Chain A
Amino acid sequence: MLQYDIVVIGGGPAGLAAAIAAKKNGVDSVLLIERDRELGGILQQCIHNGFGLHEFGEELTGPEYADRFIKELKELNIEYKLNTMVLDISENRYISAINTEDGFMTIKAKAIVLAMGCRERTRGAIKIPGARPAGIFTAGTAQRYINMEGYMVGKKAVILGSGDIGLIMARRLTLEGAEVKAVVELMPYSSGLTRNIVQCLDDFNIPLLLNHTVIDIEGKDRLKGVTIAKVDENRKPISGTEKYYECDTLLLSVGLIPENELSRSANVKIDPVTGGPIVNESMETSVKGIFACGNVVHVHDLVDYVTAESRRAGYNASKFVKGELYEEKDTIKTNPGEGIRYIVPHMVRVKNVEDSLELFMRVKDVYTNVKMRVKSGENIIKEMKKRHLAPGEMEKVKLNLKKIEGKLDDITVEIVKEGA
């Protein structure tokens, strides 16, 4: 049986940052396990730029962003296994995994960092009726075919979902000679970044149909077309607004789901709202010694935030191994208040917060000119004016706990509308 102090599961941006942080904090025995044939995760197929503004102060492409961490990992001589699939994790931190060289292996870890990322929501999950021909892809799968394998997935496309991957793929398909007929969005707003709407759609004259959805799919063998309809305020298709779009490709960019099958096998408690583990200030899950970070915890909008969060997870995993994490009894909770969908971390052991506490959250709706209020119990401890808040963008609140007077109570974050 193999033994390591820390095993990181997943070699994408989260796993890379966590492994590096753990090693840098003095834990030498670190193993990173990656199921794909190379490190970098989904970043390797995100060949567009826009990554790294927070982390490096410059705009990098996905592979460039990954490359910096991969090189650092190698310079630090951190051990990693590629093409290796973790089959199971137990609560007492035994990992079973396989690859072609080692066969079936059991690995005992003092601490585990879960960094498996997320997967795409599929057609089945959103129940679009109609035929089931070839030519329907999740946006990420199409991105892999095009950017890594060098194959086109179609000639005329409709994209459902205006998240960033959908927008990026609209431009990518166009640049590779396909015609993107429309990007269709169920909600009244896009969940993608404005800059992507401008540079991926407006630049290429691709229409963005808000408040619309795909209601039927035609084509027995290969996709022939889709029917799009306008939806009402309850997101139900409005009869009479149907319009047929001839296309051979439908890309779905309809959401990401944290991949927590392994977390569940280790009995890690999952937050039904985020779809990821419930974590504390150290990114430790409900199972002692099992940490989690990145999109496996909650879906991030920027990889820079994944890196920051994962560094914290790796660092704290190393503290755990060294016996430096306080197992404080009285923890405080973070509560999503009015307008807030969720907050990560879910719990805070105040003693473990070294300088400031960072709360990541998503709002429920689009808000303009509102206040974001942070309360400890009933005391308002921070208020920030926000010109613009949208569900597509993650919000970060930094709290300097040392400056807060009195005993810290459960923290609530809420949106306060003007005049309230």
Chain B
Amino acid sequence: MYDVAIIGAGITGTFIARELSRYKLKVVLIEKDNDVANGSTKANSAIVHAGYDAKPGTNMAKFNAMGNPMFDKVCEELDVPFKRIGSFVVAFDDEDMKTVKQLYERGIKNGIPKMEIINKEQVKKLEPNLSDNVVGALYAKTAGIVGPWELAIALAENAVENGVELKLNNEVLNIEKLDDGYKIFITEGVIESKYVVNCAGVYADKINNMVAEPSFKIIPRRGEYYLLDKTAGDFVNKVIFQCPTKMGKGVLVAPTVHGNALIGPNAEDLDLNSKDSTETTSDGLNFVQESARRISDKIPFNEVIRTFAGLRAEPDTGDFIIGESETAKGFINVAGIKSPGLSASPAIAKHVVEIIEDLNDGFEEKEDFNPTRKKVIRFNELSDEEKNELIKKDPRYGRIICRCEHITEGEIVDAIHRKVGATTVDGVKKRVRPGSGRCQGGFCQPRVMEILARELGKDMEEILKDNRGSYILTGKTNKGYDNKSAKELIATSVEE
């Protein structure tokens, strides 16, 4: 019997797992996919919001405001890229300036520090590439950018290091109430747990309905993005928002922690059966491009290296749903964690631990909890001397596998052998970035597969791109040529 079973290894699930791993508890983290951070966590704006946006009094406002200042410590402890670069909400007319003013006031109510309203000249000085039509902006200095999936992976790794059990490739098929907990039917069998935490993202309603009264729906709200080459990475220095609308914060332009530029998202509500529809659409991408042009008509869209889409878990209640279910004791929903979910995640995790602690009448802290994880070697960020020393110690750091991002074999091998290590091409990419550059894996994918196969003792053909079923190779060559139509053509070409 586990003390706590967490369903879903996205940013909230991994954060809660890590926070629970501080205590003497038996915790299991269950994930349907073959890797952590495979849903909304890997396809979002990667922004730690300052917290002025949400309506005062909502969970979103509360946890965003609380979560934002918590990033420095956790990212430091877990060696995750995080930069507090600040954000602008830019205004293009008087109407927008009114909104900017409202946001500022809301921010004050939400307890957000370091905000100011600045004029056109100040905007242009800090962001010379922005449109001349900008009339002013709300400048929130505490906003930041982070690597969301890197954070979730690091949290999972740290949680596992501290004793949490991770069950990948396990979908929750059903949940039954027991007298003193829950019976959870998963792909590989049945487990029992005293408490269940539902962090199932867009599927949180489905999980809730297995054991509790249906009380909310999660609508998959799709957002499409462009990722630009690093050559365009300094197009803006801060996160640039437009004034928000009913459908969200609108199309933004932001640098990423790795030095690319990110543009998006649009917002499109899909039906409840489309919870894995992460396709991009030409309408969506065109809309993003058009909307972004308001921010600047100089955005170098010819430098696009990737387009992608993610789903936000939009609750029909309009706010994060966090707390014990009224109809299922010991079953805690952490649902509808849409934007600013990432920003709120550290505070949500802390709060969920408190909920469970209350239900359990407290728990005991581990003496040997280790809040840090082994540093990640990022070869490209080392000095020349450090590079030289490292290669002497381990020659695998002298072999560049990813030409675009300068990722070495040593880094890839490390990513595979860490706890919660990479097992797929995208898993390696999420952790250490080969294939994230301008050639998008054209050169390095065969090499990465070779290393994965070697390190995991598998055949090349078994290596997956991403989730189950995403095989890359379909067998060996020299198996035969049996193209009927072509053969017929060849056979008849002379007789004619």
Contacts and interface: CB of A to CB of B under 8 A. Distances in A.
Direct A/B contact, Cβ within 8 angstroms: yes
Given A103-B387, A122-B442, A129 B281 contact: yes
A134 B474 contact: no
Given A134-B466, A203-B489, A129 B279 contact: yes
Contacts of B441: 141
A134 B439 contact: no
Contacts of B477: 146, 150-152, 176
B467 A127 contact: no
A153 interface: yes
Contact of B282 (A129, A133, A264): A129
Which 9 A-B residue pairs are closest in the complex by CB-CB distance? A221-B469, A134-B465, A124-B306, A100-B398, A100-B395, A104-B388, A85-B400, A204-B486, A221-B470
B144 to A, nearest CB: 26
Contact of B473 (A152, A177, A220): A152
Given A104-B391, A119-B443, A221-B468, A176 B399 contact: no
Interface string B382-420: 001101100110011011100110100000000000000
Contacts of A138: 442
B362 interface: no
A205 interface: yes
Contact of A153 (B276, B396, B438, B474): B474
A174 interface: yes
Interface in A71-117: 83, 85, 87, 96, 98-104, 106
Contacts of A146: 477
Interface string B330-371: 000000000000000000000000000000000000000000
Q: Is the interface of A mostly helix, strand, loop or mixed?
A: mixed
B224 to A, nearest CB: 8
Interface in B419-458: 438-443, 445-446
A419 to B, nearest CB: 37
Nearest to A171: B486
A326 interface: no
B413 to A, nearest CB: 13
Given A100-B398, A129-B281, A134-B466, A177 B479 contact: yes
B282 A215 contact: yes
Given A100-B395, A104-B387, A140 B442 contact: yes
B280 interface: yes
Given A151-B476, A248-B474, A96 B304 contact: no
A371 interface: no
Contacts of B306: 122, 124
A125 B228 CA distance: 9
Interface size class of A (residues with CB under 8 A): 35 or more
Interface string A118-146: 01101111010111111100101100111
A101 B227 CA distance: 36
Nearest to A133: B470
A85 B478 contact: no
A154 interface: yes
Given A98-B398, A104-B388, A132-B308, A177 B285 contact: no
A2 interface: no
A277 B385 CA distance: 31
19 contacts: A96-B384, A99-B398, A99-B399, A100-B391, A100-B396, A103-B392, A104-B391, A130-B281, A133-B465, A140-B442, A150-B478, A152-B473, A204-B486, A204-B490, A205-B486, A206-B486, A216-B279, A221-B468, A221-B470
A417 interface: no
Contacts of B474: 151-155, 248
B278 A177 contact: no
A365 B284 CA distance: 32
A298 interface: no
A177 B481 contact: yes
Given A122-B440, A131-B278, A221-B466, A104 B384 contact: yes
Nearest to B425: A134
Contact of B400 (A35, A179, A216, A220): A35
B273 interface: no
Contacts of A154: 474
Contacts of A149: 446, 460
**Which of A87, A96, A98 lies at the interface centre, i.e. has the most chain B CB atoms within 10 A of its CB?**
A98
B179 interface: no
Interface in B252-310: 276, 278-282, 284-285, 304-308
Contacts of A99: 398-399
A119 B391 contact: no
A141 B445 contact: yes
Nearest to A130: B279
A134 B464 contact: yes
A377 B481 CA distance: 58
Contacts of B403: 35, 85
B189 interface: no
B245 interface: no
A120 B439 contact: yes
B481 A176 contact: yes
Contact of B460 (A120, A151, A155): A151
A273 interface: no
A129 B442 contact: no
**Which of B278, B391, B477 lies at the interface centre, i.e. has the most chain A CB atoms within 10 A of its CB?**
B477
Nearest to B424: A134
B472 interface: yes
B482 interface: yes
B57 interface: no
B461 interface: yes
B203 to A, nearest CB: 15
Contacts of B472: 134-135, 153
A129 B285 contact: yes
Contacts of A349: none
Contacts of B464: 134
A79 to B, nearest CB: 19
